[in-house]
Each structure stands twice: as structure tokens, then as C-alpha cells.
A and B are shown apart, each in its own frame.
Chain A
């Protein structure tokens, strides 16, 4: 009874520790991780090393695969650039497995003491320190959990263990490893559990070999499961992750099968390789799986890309998710980079009407097409936001900083407006034939978005018109709300939906109003900076003379 409680508590602490570790590390290193991964465009070796470092830091090849997939969708990396990153990330995750193979019980106690004292003496006041303390706490809980798991079998008689595990066949061991990795979304977690069990003699080296092999493949499958929403280019890297896992498993298993042909006992050879330390031997096996798979896929990068592209061809969403103007190279010249952000923003504004239904010309799959446009616009908005944050870090001049902050505000408003229009469109889609009020709200909103989009190429007067049209509408909308409350326009569910539509409409108008004001401000600044045409001509003449 105590043994099973210890085992369960150990598992719980292990999972909490892994979650804390991964979550806080991503918060502490988030932007640096993205910058590190973007370095992968330089060469395959740089990509592999960047991936390995990121994998070691984040402790999840799944997470690195998904971050890289988003960078690919955002246009910061190509699939081919990202293949060595994914391959390297798998190697990086071996670090935790090696650390877990060492008995760190005493160190864990000191670690917990350190974290506790830091909290007690309020040394966690800055966000960065808070994240790092979270990392240390996660690490401590992880190892504490491992200690408990290792202790649990010691309270159970060897006969009971033999009865429970004695009949595990090799395919069953493989399937157990696979299932644990799919459930925990991590090959290293399953391997660490294996290390804990082998350390106490609960399972032998041969069982462990097949469990780790299964866990390795399971982690690849887990990526596909967790990337359920990703399609097209984004999903290609999930297949690359599976290639790494399958190639590693096949290569190592072939060696395992080939060794007896040369008169060598593979289990003895593995133990010998691990200097007679079974946990260390399993850690080396884990590393060998990642290295063989990772290096093979990196070497055959082009072939891997072709196969991944065939399994998950690019979609329309991939096309609409690509920024048209911003590139990492532009970051070197902040003034030009800001101009590119401005153009990217203008383009997103021009596409705002596509997020709303056109009730005049409705087609069956309108909602799906709009959802693709929304996801694409959102991805570009996020990529542009990240680009701006990195640009602001580059010690801009006062004028450039002012413009960058204005663009950041535009991005924030645009992001909210995109989401609100999407919600409004979804609500309208819910009606077969929209009631008059819903129709009027939708067509008014569409008119505003079309005007805002057109103002991009117009004059300041066009922005002024949009600002006037989107000004406070509380009087008209409150009147509608009161009518809805009386039940004159429907009751129950219908009235609630109409009230929601009115609120979303009002929010969209407010956001469009604010956005038009910032866009006009930027247009004013641009006009002020650009000298009149004749002055340009005079300057050109002077330069020529």
C-alpha cells in the first residue's frame, strides 16, 4: 500500500517538476530561444547545434518542433532550415536523461532549501528571477519524484515484482514505452521512469532497451497528436520529427540484431558500454537513438524535406500566413525595418474586410475561407509583433522608437480587431437567414472595414471620415439594447445572440476608431517627414551640380 502511494506520489512530483521546468524555462528563455532558432538559416551545423541547445534548455523536442513549425509558418525559417533544428533538439533532450542517471538526492535537498530561502527573503521580485526560481523548483521536484519512484519497489517483495513484470514480452515492453511517451508527450520522461526502475532491479536491461525504443517512437507520434491544429507546412516538421525517431529506432535495432551474428551479446555490450552501470547504459542508448536519427535526417535534409512535403503539402493557409514585407535581414537597418512593419500593417488593414461575411454574395464555404484568412492574418500579426519587439531592443533613435511604439499600438489594436471580427462573423454564420438587425450590423461593420482599408491609399480626409463614422454609437446601440430587452426583436436564445452581436459590433467600432486614429497619426508623421515634391527635386538638382 505504502509502496504504491510512494510510486504515485513520485510520478506526480515527476510530472509537476517537468511541467514547471518546461513552462518556466520557456518563459525565461522564450525570446532567446526564437532568436537562437532563427540562426539556423546560416548552415545545417549551426541549425543542428541551435536545436541541440534549445532541446537541452526546453527539455522537449516536441516543443522545439512546434516552435520551429510556427517560425516556418511565419516565414522566419524554411522547412529545410528547420530540419537540422528538429534533429538537434532530440539530441539536446538527452541531457536530462543523463542528469537523471546520477543520484542527486542530497543536491535536491539543497536545491529545495535554496528555492525556499529565496521565496522567504523575497528574492523573487523581478519576473526573470521568478522564472528561474520556478526552473530550480521544477528540477528539484522532478528529482524528488525520481527518488520516490526508486524507493517504492524496495518496499515490495521481489516475488511480487517478479509476478507483476516477469512475463513482459519484448513487444509488450515496446508498446508500454510507446504508450507512456504518447501519454506524457515525452520520450525522456518514459526513459527516466525506466532508469528509476532499472536502478532498483525492477526491470532488466533488455526490457529497458525495448521500452526506450518504444518511448522514442511514441514521442514522435505525440508530436503529431499535439500538433492537431497544424496543417501544411507547419505539419511537415512533425513528420521530420517522426523520421528522426523512426531512423534512430531502426538503426539501433539493426545493430542490436547484428551483434549476435558477430558472436557478441548485445545486452552485455550495452552494459559494457555503460561501464557496468545499467542506468548510464540506458542514457547512452537514448543518446544513440537521437544522434543516429538526428544525423541521418540532417545529412539527408533535402530528401527528408521532399518526403515531408509529400506527406503534408503546403495549404492556402500557409500562403496567407506568410508576411510579405518583414524579413530578418531588414533588422540591420531599423529605419527600413520600421517602414516594412508599416507596410505589413497596412496590408493587414486592407485585408480586414475579408474577415467578415458578405451577406450579399454568400457561398457555402464562406466561414471556412474566412477562418483561413483569420488564422493567416493572426500569424502575420504575431510575427510582426515579435519583429517589433526585437527591433525595439536594438537601441533605436528617439524618432524611430516613437514610430516603433506607434506601430506596436497599431498591431495590438489590429490583433484585437481581427479576433472581434472573427467572433462577429462566426455569430452571423450561425444564422441561416440573419434577422434584420444582425444584417444591418454586419453590413455597417463591413462598410467601415472597407472604408478603413481604402483610406490606406487615400488622404487624411479619408481617415477623418472613418474616424467620424466609427465615433461613439452608444445612443443608437443603447436604444437597440432596450428594444431587445422588451422582447420585441425576439426572445430567449435569439435575443441573447443579438445582444452579443451588438456588443461585438460596438467593440469592433471602438477598435476601428482607435486604429484609424493611429493610422492617421502615422500618415501625418510620414507627410511631415517627406519634404514637398519640389524640394526633393531641388535637392536632386543640387546633388547633381
Chain B
């Protein structure tokens, strides 16, 4: 898995490539939380390069989502592949995050 971070003013974009599975979930969560604590604006996670999301990956996003909600900031997900979009829809994440 590879995570590229782009800073746009106070906002952050994280471009993720690879699998969001159990071994990668912890580094992914750390990157997300670093972005939350290291910026003051919105965070966008680009999932165009992700073709596999397991429960560990979903929970990493949920942890970041809770932190952003507490900080009253927006966490947006974008460019989801269809099978990834499906897992977000049926798990109810689509109502929790803004998805573009």
C-alpha cells in the first residue's frame, strides 16, 4: 500500500493505492490521524487506487471519521471503484462520510 499526501492550504488530500486489509490498516489509520492532527482544514481521501477494503480498512476510516466529527471538520472520500462503493453503501458509511 502506498499513501501520498498533498497539502492544499489548510486542507489535506491523501491518495491511497493498494489494499486496505489487516496488515495495512494500522499504517493507514496512523496516516489519517496524522493528517487530522497536523492540519486544520478538511481531509479528502482519494481511493481511486484501492481495489480491496476489509473490515480493518473500514474501521481505520471510522476512527478518523470520529476524530474529524469531534473536531467539527469534514472528511470526504472520492473516486471509489464500484465494488468499493458497494461496501460503503451496505455498511452505512455513505451516510457518514461525504462521497464524491
Contacts and interface: CB of A to CB of B under 8 A. Distances in A.
Interface of A: 358-361, 436-437, 440-441, 443-444, 446-448, 450-451, 465, 468-471, 473, 476-477, 480, 505
B90 A476 contact: yes
Given A360-B22, A450-B59, A443 B53 contact: yes
Contacts of B58: 443-444, 447
A469 B96 contact: yes
Given A361-B22, A447-B59, A468-B95, A477 B90 contact: yes
B53 A469 contact: no
A371 to B, nearest CB: 21
A469 B93 contact: yes
A473 B59 contact: no
- What band does the interface of chain B fall in when counting residues whose beta carbon is under 8 Å from A? 20 to 34
B55 to A, nearest CB: 4
6 contacts: A444-B87, A468-B95, A469-B93, A470-B92, A480-B86, A480-B90
Nearest to B57: A443
B42 interface: no
B91 interface: yes
B54 A443 contact: yes
A163 B94 CA distance: 84
Contact of A468 (B21, B54, B96): B96
Contacts, number: 60
Interface string B43-57: 000000000011110
Given A440-B83, A468-B96, A473 B90 contact: yes
B34 interface: no
A444 to B, nearest CB: 4
Contacts of B22: 358, 360-361
A372 B62 CA distance: 30
A468 B8 CA distance: 32
A360 B58 CA distance: 13
Contact of B91 (A361, A436, A444): A444
Main secondary structure of the interface of A (DSSP, over half): helix
Given A361-B22, A443-B53, A443-B55, A469 B92 contact: yes
A359 B54 contact: yes
Contacts of A437: 86
A444 B90 contact: yes
Interface in B32-84: 53-56, 58-59, 62, 66, 83
A236 B74 CA distance: 60
Nearest to A448: B91
Contact of B87 (A360, A440, A469): A440
The 9 closest A-B pairs by CB, nearest first: A444-B91, A469-B92, A440-B87, A446-B55, A360-B22, A447-B55, A360-B54, A447-B58, A476-B89
Contacts of B83: 436, 440
A447 B96 CA distance: 14
Contacts of A359: 54
A505 B55 CA distance: 15
Given A444-B55, A444-B90, A477-B90, 4 more contacts: A447-B91, A448-B91, A469-B92, A470-B92
Nearest to A361: B22
B60 to A, nearest CB: 10
Contacts of B86: 436-437, 440, 480
B57 to A, nearest CB: 8
B54 to A, nearest CB: 4
A288 B62 CA distance: 69
Contacts of B21: 360
Contacts of B59: 447, 450-451
